[in-house]
A and B are shown apart, each in its own frame.
Chain A
Amino acid sequence: MFARLLWKLLRGSSGRLTVAMIGVISGAAVISALLNLELDIGRKLSQEFRSLGANIVIAPKPSAQTGAGAASLLSGNQIASDEIARGLAAVNSPDVAASAPYLYIVAHVASVPVVVAGTWLDQTPKLDPTWKLDGDWVASREDNSHCLVGGNVARQFHLALGSQLALAYLAENASCTVAAIFDSGGAEDNQVFVNLPVAQHLAGIQGAISLWQLSVGGSSKAIAAYAQRLATQFPGLDVRPIPQVSQAEGDLMGRIRLLIVATIVLILVLTTLCVLATMAALAMERRADVGLMKALGGSISRVLRLFLAEVGVLGAVGGVLGCAGGLLLSRWMGQRVFSAAISPRWEVFPLTIILMIAVALAGALPLRLLGRIRPAVILRGE
């Protein structure tokens, strides 16, 4: 009979309950979407920050620059690229998105000193994805005839796409065609990027590099753990995550999480008020029914249990429907903000439903006024 009465109550007040239901569904949708976002934001932000480029650098230790280095050190500030490559292969991780050696030399262009960076140019799009490029990336690390030129260098030497650039270092010379002119907003704008063999040829050293950069995906913790593995693999070298990225990531994530939690609290309050308003009206409508039920011998706890079950159903059904809406909303937000869908976190759904039931029950406070109803007064029609 309880279920039967409950069903009739729900049907009998479907108009008013629909209003409260819309409030609960809307609240649940936004809350579940925000919770999904909150739980997934670490991973998404990590991906976003990883897209900023290299985040682990392997370089000679500061002390090694004085010459007291490990076997992999060639001279004061250079390391052996083959050994690094072998070491990286040994501690390979699927999270490594890009990786490249770098050899920096100060060459001359028309007798003017210019920093030349020798690297694997096919990795540059992933290691320096924020560059604004005019022209095309160099797709192959074997291509020794093309180079990327920083905006300041291009302006200084009046270079355009397709221009020939002559580089000189001590007795060695090399030339390349400008494949692209880039704007990094940093020191790279004063540099010329060539493939590693070109720089090694100019410097007259084979197999030597200045440092190695990697772009690794995953959380800050995962990156730190991978850096630790690299440090163990290369005990004589300095392996470090790029700290600015991790710090910025942590600060931003903290701020976003605070905003999300504040928004969730606000929505919970608004949803409670919506249910509260509906239930206050419903309580007034049901005074006669409650008076009659009490006259027939219904204890107030039994009568209220019926109405609270009704509110619980409202919260649960609203929560379930809202979660479904929240799933779509979180996908849309993910696409808009991160250009990728937010992965649904299943623990969000029971949490949202419990929150909605709690909100609905809190909003049902006016129903306790029904406990004060005196049946004799109601039955007299007062």
Chain B
Amino acid sequence: MAPLVQIENLRKEFGSVRALDGVSFTVEEGEWIAIMGPSGSGKTTLINILGGLDSPTSGVAVVDGTDVARLDETGLTRFRAEKIGFIFQQFHLVSYLTALENVMLAQYFHSTTDEPQARAALVRVGLADRIEHLPSQLSGGEQQRVAVARALINHPKLILADEPTGNLDEANQETVIRLFQELHAEGHTILMVTHDPSIGRLADRRIDLAHGRLAGISVLSATPD
């Protein structure tokens, strides 16, 4: 069976800066991959290319049989809506929409909205009593859980999480990581950028980047600390 994600000799240049320099690896369906490395190593650029937010300068980035590098703007938009679930460090919720509406927004851009399904997604992440709250009325952990519900609502093939616990206190980190463990257990494919080695150790494999190059791939124990 073909891997869900296949990256070959991926390069990305911003002017004279080479953010990614010939990165290659594959990800099987259902794997949890931790992408680690120092700031400026190209982690976010890699995530953005896999999520169709950015285009590579050269190389191949295939997700679920789709070569992202070959998609035009319209194709990238549909790709993002149908195959990717994003979770950002800054949560990126729309401030004037409730938790429920933020989740439904992803449904709206995917196809049609289904309010009961969106409510169920929020209940699933433990926000049954915060459904009608605005982001400003939610804690950081709660906002990130709304983002997780939003990322899952369209059943994406790949969940891309860029430092999902980077803005959370310890208690909320634990809650969000527990959610990721549940998602992994359910068979979701997760690529997570993190600086935190303890979180990185929870993944199936760890991909290290340095100066835009692949610095190593390690197979990890999935046993939590």
Contact = CB atoms under 8 A, between A and B. Distances in A.
B1 to A, nearest CB: 26
B181 interface: no
A12 B54 CA distance: 30
B110 A11 contact: no
B105 interface: yes
Interface string A360-382: 00000000000000111001110
Contacts of B105: 1, 5, 293, 296
Interface string A254-298: 000000000000000000000000000000000011001111111
Interface in A286-345: 288-289, 292-300, 302
Interface string B94-113: 11110001001111111001
Interface size class of B (residues with CB under 8 A): 20 to 34
A296 B96 contact: no
Contacts of A298: 77, 81, 108-109
Nearest to B74: A299
A297 B90 contact: no
Most buried by A among B77, B82, B104: B77
Contacts of A380: 44
Interface string B72-92: 011001111110101010101
A381 B44 CA distance: 13
Interface size class of A (residues with CB under 8 A): 20 to 34
A8 B53 contact: no
Contacts of B58: none
Contact of B78 (A1, A288, A295, A297): A297
B92 A292 contact: yes
B54 A296 contact: no
B53 A295 contact: yes
B202 to A, nearest CB: 24
Contacts, number: 72
Interface in B33-73: 44, 48, 51, 53-54, 73
Contacts of B94: 289, 292-293
Nearest to B53: A376
Interface in A1-39: 1-2, 4-5, 8-9, 11-12
A293 B96 contact: no
Contacts of A375: 53
A8 B104 contact: no
Interface in A342-356: none
Scoring B44, B48, B51, B54 by chain A CB atoms within 10 A of each residue's CB, the highest score goes to B48
Contacts of A374: 53-54
A296 B81 contact: yes
B96 A8 contact: yes
B97 A295 contact: no
B53 A1 contact: no
Nearest to A381: B90
Contacts of B107: 1
A289 B48 CA distance: 18
A1 B113 CA distance: 7
Contacts of B96: 8-9, 11-12
Given A1-B113, A380-B44, A297 B106 contact: yes
Nearest to B111: A297
B220 to A, nearest CB: 28
Contact of B110 (A292, A297, A379): A297
Contacts of A292: 92, 94
A2 B81 CA distance: 17
A230 to B, nearest CB: 71
B48 A376 contact: yes
B77 A299 contact: yes
A258 to B, nearest CB: 47
Contact of B101 (A4, A297, A302): A4
A12 B93 CA distance: 14
B43 to A, nearest CB: 12
Contact of A8 (B54, B97, B110): B97
A296 B95 contact: no
Contact of B95 (A4, A12, A294): A12
A11 B81 CA distance: 27
Interface of A: 1-2, 4-5, 8-9, 11-12, 288-289, 292-300, 302, 374-376, 379-381
6 contacts: A1-B108, A5-B108, A8-B96, A295-B51, A299-B77, A379-B90
